């Protein structure tokens, strides 16, 4: 196993502890009034009126993957609530633009919709991972305007319900004995965020031949999961929101969640990787970016509108139902976070031999 400095490990327990210092269970934040709605809708409406922008007609949310994955979940959940809360004038359509782990959508927005203020694009740690690996052709972190994060989804390792593997350690032991024994499926390209989770866990377990570990990429998490529950592959690497429905239907069994603590509620019986001796935390923030040519007025309008939605009880319920934890950043704080994460991923990918 190759030693890595905790301070430079983007998804390690020590590194993320600083980022997560303000994250508390949603129920506690609600009890403290930290997630309560803004004081009055009228005040927000007055504030929005001071912004010289409003969308004209239907808006769009681009999900950079096929239906069923995390980006699709982000777009559809937010679009539904924006419409139900009457926060947008004429509804929001979800447009799926799959390919290259978000790269096709990124290039489309950069080249074709650079100044389109009617569209927001779902993003996550997978987006910054690919930017850090220079996988979006000539795409750069400042080609778009980073709008907001709304929560953090946590990585999971899962197997089919009838799989012989009962714990993460059993799975890793099989990989140690035979690197080809466990084939992973993920809704991300080789070298992407889902793949990184496996490589980080394997490295923590002392597996040296990381390049030999099989990983098969699919267009979405749901497609990857069907390969596992169909018996074609041994394990799934992805996020809780992707796995939840298959877990509830009894087709998928979770071996570990890459969180510092167990998830609350109905998922509290799922052990963390850290509990099993694998010190890896992999938060997948979920949020949005705007086209790089969007005006400040449009940026402010979208930021305020999404803030209003995020502070509704309905959004808190979406987070609770899907295992999302609070992780809310915007403005300069988000820009600094994104820039640092891209830099960290670039270094980690070099250490793992991914670029």
Chain segment 52-63, per-residue pLDDT in tens: 899 999 999 999
Kindly give the interhelix angle for 240-248 and 70-84, rounded to the nearest 10 degrees.
90
Quote the radius of gyration of the chain (alpha carbons, Å): 20
Q: What is the mean pLDDT of residues 21-36?
A: 32
CA 104 to chain CA centroid, Å, is 18
Give the angle subtended at the CA of 305 by the CAs of 285 and 286, to the nearest 5°: 10
**Of 11, 327, 17, 13, nearest in space to 196 by CA:** 11
For 27, the token pair is 């129920």
pLDDT digits (tens, 9 = 90+) for 98-107: 998 899 999 9
35 in Cβ contact with 94 (< 8 Å): no
For 323, the token pair is 């295992």
Q: Tell whether the model's pLDDT for residue 43 goes beyond 80.
A: no
CA distances (Å), origin 164, targets 41, 253, 258, 270: 54, 11, 21, 17
| pLDDT for the residue 323 | 77
Better pLDDT: 233 or 281: 233
Rounded to two decimals, the pTM is 0.73
| pLDDT for the residue 25 | 35
| pLDDT for the residue 321 | 85
All domains of the chain in start order, with CATH: 55-152+285-351 (3.40.190.150), 154-276 (3.40.190.10)
Q: Tell whether the model's pLDDT for residue 351 goes beyond 70.
A: yes
| pLDDT for the residue 51 | 80
């Amino acid at each position: 196993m190759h030693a890595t400095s905790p301070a430079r490990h983007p998804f390690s327990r020590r590194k993320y502890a600083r980022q997560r210092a303000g994250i508390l269970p949603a129920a506690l934040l609600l009890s403290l009034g930290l997630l309560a709605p803004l004081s009055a809708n009228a005040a927000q409406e007055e504030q929005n009126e001071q912004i010289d922008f409003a969308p004209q007609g239907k808006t769009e949310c681009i999900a950079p993957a096929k239906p069923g994955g995390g980006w699709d979940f982000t777009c559809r959940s937010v679009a539904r609530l924006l419409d139900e809360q009457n926060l947008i004038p004429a509804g929001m359509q979800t447009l799926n633009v799959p390919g290259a782990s978000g790269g096709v959508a990124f290039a489309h927005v950069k080249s074709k919709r650079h100044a389109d203020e009617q569209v927001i694009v779902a993003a996550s740690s997978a987006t910054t991972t690919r930017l850090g690996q220079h996988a979006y052709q000539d795409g750069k972190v400042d080609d778009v305007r980073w709008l907001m994060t709304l929560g953090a989804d946590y990585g999971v390792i899962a197997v089919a319900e009838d799989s012989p593997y009962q714990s993460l350690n059993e799975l890793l032991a099989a990989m140690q004995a035979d690197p080809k024994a466990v084939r992973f499926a993920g809704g991300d390209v080789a070298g992407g965020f889902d793949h990184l989770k496996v490589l980080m866990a394997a490295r923590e377990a002392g597996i040296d031949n990381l390049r030999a570990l099989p990983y098969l990429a699919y267009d979405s998490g749901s497609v990857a999961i069907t390969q596992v529950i169909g018996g074609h592959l041994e394990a799934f690497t992805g996020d809780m929101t992707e796995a939840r429905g298959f877990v509830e239907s009894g087709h998928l069994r979770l071996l570990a969640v890459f969180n510092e603590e167990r998830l609350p509620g109905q998922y509290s019986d799922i052990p963390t990787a850290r509990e099993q001796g694998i010190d890896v935390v992999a938060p997948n923030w979920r949020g949005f970016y705007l086209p790089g040519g969007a005006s400040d007025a449009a940026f402010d309008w979208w930021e305020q509108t999404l803030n209003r939605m995020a502070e509704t009880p309905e959004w808190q319920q979406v987070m609770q139902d899907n295992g999302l934890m609070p992780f809310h950043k915007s403005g300069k704080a988000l820009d600094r976070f994104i820039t640092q994460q891209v830099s960290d991923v670039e270094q980690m990918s070099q250490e793992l031999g991914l670029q």
